[in-house]
């Protein structure tokens, strides 16, 4: 029985290559519940979710990663944000009609992918790659080729399992201390991993998957990490955003609506601020400045 919403790490004992394996169900459903999206866009968010989960699991520090796609097609924006505790959230913005068979290019048009790595302490790092691949995984391969990071390959599958949207994926990465010959080893492992089917990722447990793919290899599988849907929004974070806005704009909304209603675009939570709240926020801000 497959345990969903678990991120597994594994290591090839005879090679300087590490791996990851994830399949998301509950996390993915919870994310989709907050948005009314056509199925191709749901699939795209699933792919991004898997990518963000696999990428945050490579972090050696506390922090979060945002994987974002932007373009001039009907899907203006699709974004997933996740942290090293595997708490994930996501959203998409659509303007126009998305075809049922929507390929990545049909949906996003001419666009690019931005990957932002934000350590809890330290410098933020951002990488951008044009969306020239047929699939998100190809675009991620291009991203890793152009950035000076460890050679890394991702495999992403989405589909429908037991009547629900399902997504899963795998990652292979060369270890920092690897010899040059590891490129050939990685290529061999890539060929094996590429045979993974969505159904296998959604229904088999991690041991079975690793055995099917790499039965001639000595692979160590580590304890999994739980993946979950969680949004990091809060009244305080909204307040922090509000104080950066021009006073005249805030007063205009208060005058017109009697309150400021901020909706989190990830989870749909509404945060309401009235005139008293706004003046309190501003007083606190002033005190902090002095
Ligand atoms: Zn939220």
Domain boundaries, the chain: 6-229, 235-289
> How far is ligand 1, taken at its centre, from the CA of residue 269, in Å?
6
Residue with tokens 């909706």: 263
The arrangement of secondary structure in 235-289, i.e. its CATH architecture, is Alpha-Beta Complex (3.90)
Predicted pLDDT of residue 2: 58
Compute the C-alpha angle 65/71/72, nearest 5°.
165
Query: How far is the centre of ligand 1, averaged over its atoms, from the C-alpha of 258 (Å)?
Result: 23
pLDDT averaged over the chain? 92
Q: Which residues have a Cβ under 8 Å from the Cβ of 235 and sit 6 or more positions away? A: 271
Local structure of 226: helix, strand or coil: strand
| pLDDT score, position 1 | 47
| φ, ψ (nearest 5 deg) of residue 133 | -75, 165
What's the confidence (pLDDT) of residue 226? 97
**Ligand 1: distance of its center to the CA of 48 in Å?**
18
* Cα–Cα distance for residue pair 78/148, rounded to 1 Å: 25
User: In angstroms, what is the span from residue 214 Cα to ligand 1's centroid?
Assistant: 40
H-state helical runs in 97-135: 104-108
Cα(111) to centroid of ligand 1, in Å? Answer: 26
CATH of domain 6-229: 3.55.30.10
In the reported structure, the alpha carbon of residue 40 is separated from the centroid of ligand 1 by a whole-number distance in angstroms of 23
**Smallest Cα–Cα separation from 12: which of 222, 180, 208, 163?**
222
Please check whether residue 213 is in contact with residue 195, taking contact to mean a CB–CB distance below 8 angstroms: yes
Which pLDDT does position 285 carry in this prediction?
A: 79
- Ligand 1 centroid to Cα of residue 89, in Å, is 8
Please give the structure tokens belonging to residue 264.
Answer: 């989190």
Assigned token pair, 125: 């790092």
- Centroid of ligand 1 to alpha carbon of 266 (angstroms): 5
Q: What's the predicted TM-score (pTM) here?
A: 0.92
CA of 231 to the centre of ligand 1 (A): 5
Q: Tell me the C-alpha to C-alpha distance, in Å, between residue 253 and each of 247, 249, 250.
A: 10, 6, 5
The rounded Å distance from CA 95 to ligand 1 centre is 22
Spans in the chain with pLDDT lower than 70 = 1-2
Look at residues 30, 110, 116, 118 and name the one whose alpha carbon lies nearest to residue 75: 110
The dihedral built from the CA positions of residue 243, 247, 251 and 252, taken in this order, carries a sign that is negative
Phi/psi at 4 (nearest 5 deg)? -80, 165
Rounded to the nearest angstrom, the distance between the alpha carbon of 199 and the centre of ligand 1 is 31
């Amino acid at each position: 029985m497959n345990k969903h919403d678990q991120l597994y790490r594994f290591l090839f004992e005879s090679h300087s290559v590490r791996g990851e394996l994830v399949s998301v169900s509950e996390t993915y459903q919870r994310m989709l519940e907050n948005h009314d999206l056509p199925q191709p866009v749901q699939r795209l968010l699933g792919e991004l979710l898997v990518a963000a989960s696999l990428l945050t699991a490579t972090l050696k520090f506390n922090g979060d990663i945002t994987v974002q796609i932007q373009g001039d097609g009907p899907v203006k924006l699709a974004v997933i944000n996740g942290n090293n505790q595997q708490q994930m959230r996501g959203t998409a913005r659509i303007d126009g009609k998305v075809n049922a068979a929507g390929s990545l290019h049909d949906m996003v048009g001419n666009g690019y992918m931005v990957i932002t790595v934000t350590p809890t302490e330290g410098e933020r790092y951002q990488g951008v790659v044009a969306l020239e691949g047929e699939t998100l995984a190809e675009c991620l391969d291009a991203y890793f080729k152009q950035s000076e990071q460890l050679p890394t390959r991702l495999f992403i599958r989405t589909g429908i399992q037991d009547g629900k949207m399902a997504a899963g994926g795998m990652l292979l990465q060369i270890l920092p201390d690897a010899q040059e010959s590891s490129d050939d080893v990685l290529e061999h492992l890539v060929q094996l991993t590429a045979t993974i089917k969505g159904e296998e990722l959604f229904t088999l447990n991690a041991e079975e998957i690793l055995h099917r793919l790499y039965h001639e290899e000595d692979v160590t599988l580590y304890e999994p990490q739980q993946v979950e849907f969680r949004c990091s929004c809060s009244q305080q974070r909204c307040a922090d955003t509000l104080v950066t806005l021009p006073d005249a704009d805030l007063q205009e909304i208060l005058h017109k609506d009697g309150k400021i209603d901020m909706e989190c675009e990830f989870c749909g939570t509404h945060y309401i601020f009235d005139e008293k709240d706004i003046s309190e926020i501003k007083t606190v801000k002033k005190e902090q400045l002095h």
